Amino acid sequence: MLKKNNNKIITIWMLFIAFMTLLRVVYSAGYTYEYIVNAGMDDQWMVSQAYSILGGQWLGPYSHVTLIKSVTYPIMLAFFRAISMPYGMGVGLFTVAVSFIFARAIKPEVKNVFLRGIIYLVILYSPFGFLSITSARIYRNSVSHWMALLVIASIIGIYYRRDYSLKGLWKWILCEAVSFMMFWELREDHIWILAFVVPASIILAIYRIFHKKGLIKSLIGVAIPFVAVVIMELGIATINYKHYGVFCLNDRSGTYCAKVVSLLYKINDGGIHDQSIWVSSDALTLAREASPTLDSLGDGLDYNWNYWKVVTMYGNEVPGDHAEWALRQTVMDAGYYKDAVTTNEFYKKIYEELKAGFDSGMLKKKKGIFLSSQMRPFNKDDMDMAWKLTRKVVPKYAGYDTNGMYVAYTTYGMDENDKSLFENMLLMNITEQYIPENEEITDYGAYVTASYNRFIRANLDMIWKIYKKLAVFLNYISIGAFIFMITSMIFELKRKEFYSLYAFLLTGGIIILLYAYTFMICLWGLWMTTDINSPVYWFYGSSGPMLVQVWRILCLTYLINRVTKIYQNKKVKSKQEEKEEAARPDDAVTISKDMDFESGEV
């Protein structure tokens, strides 16, 4: 009878989970998206490339923006369109799939179906999935946190099944390989995920080798995802070579254009500039003096440089990596982007001339650490500022402390042709009123005309407030659980027990990844802002809240398991004592208080 009731409860629970899953897809399908049609290197680029992929033209005709970004997101858009699935529904189902895989990944550690269901719903309805500045955009940042979570979930799935045979792990290894490939080709700043993937892979390999799972099999298991990424990169580079004549993933990292930009970022003009200025006007002048080929761009370079200028603390300058876009547009206008081979040869001449300028001493190099060829050098003050910001931004991630969890955006600068372009690709009707270009809008919600979307907004606002209130309490509990984990690990190691150690390696890896990732965002973002309330840290750092949530879940499940284990041990010990007491024979002789113990007489 009890078993029958339990089955009934589980069935009701599963029906509730199914209903909440369907509702989440409805929320995604009815979400108010933002259509920025004049972002030729961002949102519009993604849609245009998806059209080219659907038409069998890969990334379309060659120009200065054809190979600027990774291709996972355009492929994703093209896939949804190819199967006639509306974009909102596609993203919603992808969110469901990632949440489900995470819940399955932790099954060996969280065996209770009700607790696992709660964790699934917590991930599924997490506010980081409704962050307007990312999720509302038709842009790759809208799915970057979900793809990162898929990679992490796959590794957690393998970690919790580390004693399985290689055959028993193949599904999780395949999941890691596919998700790792998707994430690696989503953005160019993908390297941060290696701070978790590489240590986790090494630990898993060592563990399996030590536990006699086979040296070759253990190495093969951890190597497959990395090999998959290499094969994918070679494949994309080969396709690019076939279509455009250059063997590279994108021309912001694998061509002479990237090398030229890297050298421009290194030029020291002897002046003191705001940290937002990567290539000053004086540095450009020095570059033109060292490179006749660059200088041959003449007035076109002056025009585009002035076009990209903004007023900064130190006057009119081109901020950040906008210097690259000014250069690209100039080279395009000069006619050198007629094909990729011609373009690459032109940039090669500039590169060789600039390099000769550095070698001869004509050009001086900036001091600092060059973490990437596509960024300016960073000094100790930059590192200190980034770390200071990191310590402030992480708590904001942990508390969902932003005003932009869900804002009803509408459309910028869209005419009927633009509207048709987006609607046909996304299979979604754009019903919002249009916001004229350059018009300042203070109340975006007033522009939402569909009551359906207002209903969704109200629900998502409520969900955000619930998460925000619970986060304060859960953060403290999670920190306490983490401290308890470390303390237990120390005592367990003395007894040669390793449960808490394995839990610490996983949770510690997530917390290190969180801080490394946030530090990278803060360091890179110095050229844009140092205001911790800026949306920059949410737009580029959308995976931050997700990492905090994963860490909380791992800490809390550890605490629940340990408390449950302690309770069960006490219960078993109590029953054992009762059995021993019941088995003890009655005393044959009653010893009196008056017994003479020396004589043995009573």
Identify the CA nearest to 105 among candidates 88, 94, 119.
119
pLDDT at position 435 is: 43
Helix or strand or coil: residue 106?
Answer: coil
Q: What is the pLDDT of residues 5-14, one digit of tens each?
A: 678 899 999 9
Burial per residue of 429-460, b for 16 or more beta-carbon CB atoms within 10 angstroms, e otherwise: ebebebbeeeeeeeebeebbeeeebeebbeeb
> Which structural domain, as residue segments, surrounds residue 410?
17-242+392-561
Q: Does 365 or 458 have the greater pLDDT score?
A: 365
Q: For the residues 443-449, what does the mean pLDDT come to?
A: 40
- Please give the Cα distance from 231 to 355 (Å, whole number): 32
How would residue 303 be classed by pLDDT, with cut points 50, 70 and 90?
A: very high
Quick check: 447 pLDDT over 50?
A: no
- Please give the Cα distance from 287 to 293 (Å, whole number): 10
319 Cα distance to chain centroid: 25
How would residue 433 be classed by pLDDT, with cut points 50, 70 and 90?
A: very low
Residue 599 lies inside a defined structural domain of this protein: no
pLDDT at position 416 is: 73
Quick check: 395 pLDDT over 70?
A: yes
Q: For the residues 156-162, what does the mean pLDDT come to?
A: 96
Evaluate whether 353 touches 243 at the Cβ level (below 8 Å): no
Can you list the positions of beta strands (E) in 395-529? 411-412, 434-435
Q: Which residues contact 173 (CB under 8 A, 6 or more apart)?
A: 158, 221, 224, 225
Quick check: 146 pLDDT over 80?
A: yes
Answer yes or no: do 422 and 340 share one domain. Answer: no
Q: For the residues 523-542, what does the mean pLDDT come to?
A: 90
Answer yes or no: do 299 and 400 share one domain. Answer: no
Evaluate whether 542 touches 140 at the Cβ level (below 8 Å): no
Answer yes or no: do 178 and 200 share one domain. Answer: yes
Answer yes or no: do 400 and 369 share one domain. Answer: no
Backbone angles phi, psi at 496, to 5 degrees: 60, 40
How would residue 442 be classed by pLDDT, with cut points 50, 70 and 90?
A: very low
How would residue 193 be classed by pLDDT, with cut points 50, 70 and 90?
A: very high
Q: Does 153 or 439 have the greater pLDDT score?
A: 153
Burial per residue of 217-235, b for 16 or more beta-carbon CB atoms within 10 angstroms, e otherwise: ebeebbebbbebbeebbee
Mean pLDDT of the chain: 87
Q: What's the domain count of the chain?
A: 2
Answer yes or no: do 290 and 196 share one domain. Answer: no
Quick check: 344 pLDDT over 90?
A: yes
Answer yes or no: do 260 and 236 share one domain. Answer: no
pLDDT at position 407 is: 47
Q: Which residues contact 272 (CB under 8 A, 6 or more apart)?
A: 314
Residue 231 lies inside a defined structural domain of this protein: yes
Answer yes or no: do 96 and 198 share one domain. Answer: yes
pLDDT at position 413 is: 56
Burial grade of 291 (CB within 10 A; 0-12, 13-18, 19 or more) = buried
Count Cβ atoms below 10 Å from residue 406 Cβ, excluding itself.
24
Quick check: 115 pLDDT over 60?
A: yes
How would residue 4 be classed by pLDDT, with cut points 50, 70 and 90?
A: low
How would residue 37 be classed by pLDDT, with cut points 50, 70 and 90?
A: confident
Answer yes or no: do 356 and 504 share one domain. Answer: no
- Please give the Cα distance from 331 to 360 (Å, whole number): 26
Quick check: 149 pLDDT over 50?
A: yes
Quick check: 187 pLDDT over 70?
A: yes
Answer yes or no: do 127 and 50 share one domain. Answer: yes
Answer yes or no: do 325 and 236 share one domain. Answer: no
- Of 52-56, 136-140, 535-539, 585-589, the least confident: 585-589
Distance (Å) of CA 79 to CA 56, 90, 316, 393, 427: 13, 9, 44, 35, 12
- Please give the Cα distance from 47 to 56 (Å, whole number): 15
Quick check: 294 pLDDT over 90?
A: yes
> What does pTM read for this prediction?
0.90
How would residue 411 be classed by pLDDT, with cut points 50, 70 and 90?
A: low
Residue 594 lies inside a defined structural domain of this protein: no
Answer yes or no: do 124 and 233 share one domain. Answer: yes
Q: For the residues 360-364, what does the mean pLDDT come to?
A: 95
Q: Does 129 or 119 have the greater pLDDT score?
A: 119
